[in-house]
Amino acid sequence: MRLSSEPEQIYKRLICINWIFSFLATIAGFIWGGFRFGISVAMGAGLIVANIWQMERVVRKFLLYQMTTKKIIGKILIKYFIRFFITALIISFLIAFRYANPLGLLTGVLMIALSLFVITAMEIFCRFFEKT
């Protein structure tokens, strides 16, 4: 079972824009914040990209099977919380042992929020002008 083409295209654009913003933020981090800050931005962005990729894998896997809605939601939530806990441990480890700059990590993590905002604005803009 495949997702319909429109959500699939939105997802692909989201990932593409996220990679672009993450790359630009990492370059800016290296230029204005130094090596450690730039690496921290890259780590934060990479962590979020890995989380999104894993979530996509989980959702696609469960959509392929004919399960009841409660089973799907329960299993996805369990995997989500496990992934959330592991991500929190990784971030805590990186900050506690001073492998990463906290502000750089936050900047990298927030690239997905910026990407979501841009994709949403693009979709609203396109749909608004499509109907007029």
User: What tens digit of pLDDT does each residue of 33-80 get?
Assistant: 999 999 999 999 999 999 999 988 887 877 777 666 777 778 888 989
**Taking the model in full, what pTM does it have?**
0.84
**Which residues span the domain enclosing 97?**
5-131
CA distance 90 to 17: 25
Residue 42 half-sphere exposure, CB side, CA atoms within 13 Å?
14
Closest listed residue to residue 44, CA positions, set 22, 27, 77: 22
Give the residue carrying structure tokens 């749909």. Answer: 127
> Once rounded to an integer, what is the mean pLDDT over residues 100-126?
93
Number of domains in the chain: 1
For residue 49, give the amino acid letter: V
